[in-house]
Amino acid sequence: MLYFTSDTHFADPRVLRIDRRPFPNMAEHDATLIASWNAVVAPDDEIWHLGDFARGSQEQVEALLAQLNGTKHLIIGNNDPEPTIQARGWASIQHYAEMRIEGQLFVLCHYPFRTWNQMGKKSINLHGHSHGRLTPVPRQFDVGVDPQGLRPRSLEEVLQSRKTSARAS
């Protein structure tokens, strides 16, 4: 199965303050996000992390990656330091990616775009960075943990989330 997430900010205490995540300390934050990740992502699944993964030494980031299920790809975010980028455990590392799934083009970047490749042909932009604070535009989805219940989501769940929230309004 294919999953997406962003903005986990493992080992970055600023996230407790800035994003008001409901944890008294980083140990509980990180343990909860690791457990949430592994509860949905199986070892043979593929997961794309769209930036702002973790802080720490390369060894600490590699130890964290080893605890997380799935084949992991990193789209680099503005808070991904060199030790995160250099860590062994990523299947791929880039700033931007495009993928076709069942004929549908998906544009992946840490940052939300105002326009993106083949936007006029109904391509979809998956992003992080905004922590659920931006008003969604058509065919653009924030896959960050803040708007996605603090866990990775399958592509189907991400696409369905907008339909579900529209019905609830």
Residue-averaged pLDDT of the chain: 93
What percentage of the chain's residues is helix, strand, coil (to nearest 5)? 30, 25, 45
Question: How do residues 71-117 score in pLDDT, each as one tens digit?
Answer: 999 999 999 999 999 999 999 999 999 999 999 999 999 999 999 99
SS3 of 10, please? strand
Phi, psi of 120, deg, nearest 5: -70, -10
- Which DSSP letter does residue 78 get? T
**E-assigned strands of the chain?**
2-5, 46-49, 71-75, 90-94, 96-101, 104-109, 124-127, 140-142, 153-154
In the chain, where the domains are located: 2-168
Assigned superfamily of 2-168 = Metallo-dependent phosphatases (3.60.21.10)
Question: How do residues 52-69 score in pLDDT, each as one tens digit?
Answer: 999 999 999 999 999 999
pTM: 0.94
